[in-house]
Structure 1
Amino acid sequence: MNFIHLNLRNYPLIVFLAICLTSIAISCEDFVEVDPPNNQLTGETIFSNATTANTAFVNIYGKLRDNALTTGGLAGLPYLMGLYTDELELFNQNLQQQEFYSNNVTPSNFLIQNLWNESYNLIYATNTIIKGVENSNSLSLEDRERFLGEAYFTRAFIHFYLVNSFGTIPYIKTTDFLINKNVTRDDIGSVYQNIIDDLILSRSLLSQNENTSITNLRPNQFTASALLSRVYLYTEQWQLALNESEALIANSNYTLNTDTEQVFFKTSNETIWQYDSGQSSSNTLDAQTYIFTSSPPPNSALAPNLVNSFEPNDQRFTDWLGSVSAGTDIWYYPFKYKLNTVTSATQECTIVFRLAEFYLIAAEANAQLGAISNGLNRLNAIRTRANLEPVTSTNTNSLLNAIYRERKIELFTEMSHRFFDLKRTGRIDEQLSQIKPNWQSTDKLLPLPESELILNTNLLPQNDGY
């Protein structure tokens, strides 16, 4: 697979905005189609009205969907960290992916460079929007707040994935090239505080009913709360994580699907935020990545460790796993997204946040706070939907272990949850050293791209183990 890298950090504002407008060659479903203006583009022109300013967001979300770190394709963290942990088994001979599967990632790995470069390009793009909107004299107050709210959320969202993948990283808040070319890495606590600050600001600017004419394709106030809930969980601020997750559960806009087969449809009531498909007939890259119809698997299959973790009668095994057999051999693949071809209209979009995660966050936060009964209630809502018997744990440790098992099954191959969960709960060495021959404790972090360390020596030292 070939990737095209464009280092937007080195582009002035006007060039970036021109690229944003002209790079969208296809229409984006449910968004207003915008033709590039015929006259010369200027920053003032771009941010003179909501229609043209909106185009920059369409570009950013399209990149996150197609080629940046949260893509459902082969270059995204969900796939790569599925290989890296215990979710996926690799069958192809792609050397870049083999490094992830064998836990032997090198700093020169192109996929590492792509994750890093695409992320910081989009952070630069987001900061460009913030600067342009703040300097605009033409946008209405409502539009200004909406665009700034989305931009602060997006900046926090990308940094969240970077810090959990690479550890200490620069938190970039400016478009000033002279500053950015010499940035240093911020400690993890500072990165998380910046993420929290951006999310709180984002939530204050976004409305509760942002873009109600589309199906959760743009972040709104509740999307900011969703990421904030996850961040509070990761930073062990249990009460705050509980508050945010319970607010989402109580929100009438979102409800758990009672049928697991309905969870990943575009119209699912469980979805808090999903990516636009890009075209009205397209579905997800996830389905194209995971579904196969012949044996042996051409690319990857679900790892036996994951397949064997399902309890008997778990409805998710039936609804979320597909299989191909040859003789006595059988291979399973993720079948959450079922449409790997075009359809008359989009039926599935890649889901970034869905309500089930926040039931499990509420369960975990309650357990950590000693509210066992409340934790069981939230956990068992997920198990009951999956046709499983309720958990009846009576102490914190057993309840937490049950929640971790449930997260492994409920969230498999989604948005790198497994890798992040193993890290944040301190179980990664114990679990992966048993099944990954090359696993080392330093593998908890990916290496920084070698090319970036050469360009900016302030990013040194490289992460341990590389």
Structure 2
Amino acid sequence: MKKIINYMNIAGMLFLTGILLSCEKMIDAEIPANQIASETVFENVQTADAALAGLYASLWNNSPISGDKAALMLSLYTDDLDFYATSSTNGMNEVYRNQLIPSNPIVYGQWASAYQIIYSCNAVIEGCEHSVLLSAQDKMRISGEALLIRSLLLFYLQQMFGDIPYPVTTNYLTNQSIAKTPSAEVLERLESDLNKVVPMLSDQYRNAERIYLNKKSAQILLAKVCMTRQKWAEAESHLKLIIQSPLYLVQNDLTKTFKKTSTNIIWQLKPFNTNDAVKEVIAYYFDFIPPYNYALSTSLMNSFSASDLRKQRWTIPVTVAGNTWYRAAKYKNLTGNTDEYSVVFRIEEAYLLLAESLTMQNKTAEALPYLNAVRQRAGLGAVASPISQQTLLNEILSENRKEFFTETGHRFFDLKRMNQLQQLTATKPNWKPEHQLWPIPERELLLNPNLKPQNNGY
């Protein structure tokens, strides 16, 4: 059995290596010689699943949802983190100070890593479509997971960059000159793709650790897309299906929220190597001064009441020479990790999204129980009815911040969806309206002029 698993891992990684190399060389005329033919990879379910496993490994290793990538950068970009360095050669200082330029290496890294995996998703989808040996059921499942991964990454790119390419093929001649799709159309296409995905996947996980995407993962992303499009009733419908599922329960013990066996988890990423710490614990840990000179922001810490259990359980003060910083401590295991994976979706998000979608339909009384379920398990009192629509929306946004700080870019997405990015002007002196989008990477514009014009303000 061990030899079979090793073979699957090797086959999957070789397949993806070939695909990623071909992405990097899209302007070349020849297909790289080390790319495994798709008909070989997709001749049986074991090697096809290995290719799919390679996609998950790439998500963990280097993608916008990796714990030390967009989550960290968007926390700096908004107001979850304060940055104490006066200069930085890796671009982080410019991210924090909202002074991005198209040549910033972090901007390019977010874009390039996402599109490399998107092209690999397309390769898996095409491999399933062309396979004559895979069963219809296996084709549907594997294609569904690959399409869901592609949709998740495109959603991140749309939120960060606005108008973006929407590649659906591995044809390098097409991809090397692809134009941008308008942002509104990207969301429309994402909703269409996700509606296709939902019936392709099962509610039941194919691994008890919830490390593979399922139907409910597709439904929560679909709800987020619908809410971005202001389709509140549709989002409500998708979210209620998640909350009503017997698979998930709000985790009332905050010390277990990020433990891999918790039933609040909808989907999580498994570390590449056994006993590895999750990327989040490494990114945010320090015990003397803030690593890379950042720590939880003063404004975030001031948003917590003293009785909020999340402040007590998920943040740790570090005092040196009379100065105190706070670090995120949602994950605990620096070494010998056996019980933590990186959580991407959890049921508490569905609760707050549902509260928001109901409030936007002026169903405030119906929304309150979902908000209060999250608040009360943090040791806070219930928000009482009657309450105005705008006051309740403010409460939901505040709750999102305290619940999801430093997680998967939440703060940026929540502020943007709720049209509240201007709040950042209180703590970010360089914030301007055009900063709702990042610049298109300079390298990409030079390679493909069809990506012009550059985003406004850059």
**Common topology (TM > 0.5):** yes
> Is 1:191–2:186 an aligned residue pair?
yes
Partners of 1:196 and 1:17 lie apart in 2 by: 37
Question: What's the offset of the Cα at 1:94?
Answer: 2.8
> Is 1:425–2:418 an aligned residue pair?
yes
Instruction: Summarize the Cα distance change of 1:398–1:141 in structure 2 as closer, same or farther, 3 Å threshold.
Output: same
Residues 57-103 of structure 1 show CA distances to partners (whole Å, capped at 9, x for unaligned) of 22222222121111112xx1110111111110123443310110111
Instruction: Summarize the Cα distance change of 1:110–1:7 in structure 2 as closer, same or farther, 3 Å threshold.
Output: farther
> Is 1:283–2:286 an aligned residue pair?
no
Q: Which amino acid aligns with 1:350?
A: S
Answer whether contact 1:7 1:117 (CA < 8 A) is retained.
no
Answer whether contact 1:203 1:225 (CA < 8 A) is retained.
yes
Partners of 2:21 and 2:162 lie apart in 1 by: 22
Instruction: Summarize the Cα distance change of 1:299–1:72 in structure 2 as closer, same or farther, 3 Å threshold.
Output: farther
Residues 412-441 of structure 1 show CA distances to partners (whole Å, capped at 9, x for unaligned) of 111111111112222112x11121121111
> Is 1:238–2:235 an aligned residue pair?
no
Partners of 1:8 and 1:271 lie apart in 2 by: 35
Give the counterpart of 2:171 among 173, 176, 179: 176
Question: What's the offset of the Cα at 1:15?
Answer: 6.7
Q: Which amino acid aligns with 2:419?
A: G
Give the counterpart of 1:391 among 379, 383, 388: 383
Give the counterpart of 1:52 among 47, 56, 62: 47
Partners of 2:178 and 2:123 lie apart in 1 by: 17
Partners of 1:15 and 1:285 lie apart in 2 by: 34
Question: What's the offset of the Cα at 1:327?
Answer: 3.7
> Is 1:305–2:299 an aligned residue pair?
yes
Give the counterpart of 2:216 among 222, 228, 242: 222
Partners of 2:314 and 2:335 lie apart in 1 by: 18
Partners of 1:327 and 1:391 lie apart in 2 by: 40
Question: Which residue is 2:395 aligned to?
Answer: 402
Question: Which residue is 1:127 aligned to?
Answer: 122
Which secondary structure does the structure 2 equivalent of 1:353 belong to? Answer: strand
> Is 1:348–2:340 an aligned residue pair?
yes
Which secondary structure does the structure 2 equivalent of 1:405 belong to? Answer: helix
Structure 1 runs (4+) greater than 6 angstroms displaced? 14-17
Residues 131-169 of structure 1 show CA distances to partners (whole Å, capped at 9, x for unaligned) of 111110111222111101101111111100000000011
Instruction: Summarize the Cα distance change of 1:132–1:16 in structure 2 as closer, same or farther, 3 Å threshold.
Output: farther
Residues 273-323 of structure 1 show CA distances to partners (whole Å, capped at 9, x for unaligned) of 001111221230000000111135553100000000002300000111012
> Is 1:265–2:259 an aligned residue pair?
yes
Q: Which amino acid aligns with 1:89?
A: D
Give percent identity, aligned residues only. Answer: 35
Question: What's the offset of the Cα at 1:232?
Answer: 1.2
Question: Which residue is 1:256 aligned to?
Answer: 250
Answer whether contact 2:285 2:329 (CA < 8 A) is retained.
yes
Which secondary structure does the structure 2 equivalent of 1:341 belong to? Answer: coil
Give the counterpart of 1:146 among 141, 148, 159: 141
Which secondary structure does the structure 1 equivalent of 2:396 belong to? Answer: helix
Question: Which residue is 2:63 aligned to?
Answer: 68
Question: Which residue is 1:82 aligned to?
Answer: 75
Superposition CA RMSD, Å:
1.9
Q: Which range moved further: 141-150 or 291-300?
A: 291-300
Partners of 2:66 and 2:378 lie apart in 1 by: 27
Residues 164-209 of structure 1 show CA distances to partners (whole Å, capped at 9, x for unaligned) of 0000111111111121111111111110111111111111111121
Partners of 2:33 and 2:260 lie apart in 1 by: 30
Partners of 1:447 and 1:435 lie apart in 2 by: 22
Answer whether contact 1:297 1:331 (CA < 8 A) is retained.
no
Answer whether contact 1:16 1:125 (CA < 8 A) is retained.
no
Question: Which residue is 2:371 aligned to?
Answer: 379
TM-score norm. by structure 1 comes to 0.90
Q: Which amino acid aligns with 2:367?
A: G
Question: What's the offset of the Cα at 1:448?
Answer: 0.4
Partners of 1:313 and 1:43 lie apart in 2 by: 56
Answer whether contact 1:84 1:103 (CA < 8 A) is retained.
yes
Q: Which range moved further: 87-96 or 171-180?
A: 87-96
Question: What's the offset of the Cα at 1:7?
Answer: 5.1
Partners of 1:53 and 1:276 lie apart in 2 by: 19
Alignment of 1:355-370 (within 5 A): 355-370=347-362
Partners of 2:216 and 2:292 lie apart in 1 by: 39
Answer whether contact 2:61 2:272 (CA < 8 A) is retained.
no
Give the counterpart of 1:103 among 74, 81, 98: 98
Q: Which amino acid aligns with 1:206?
A: L
Q: Which amino acid aligns with 1:376?
A: L
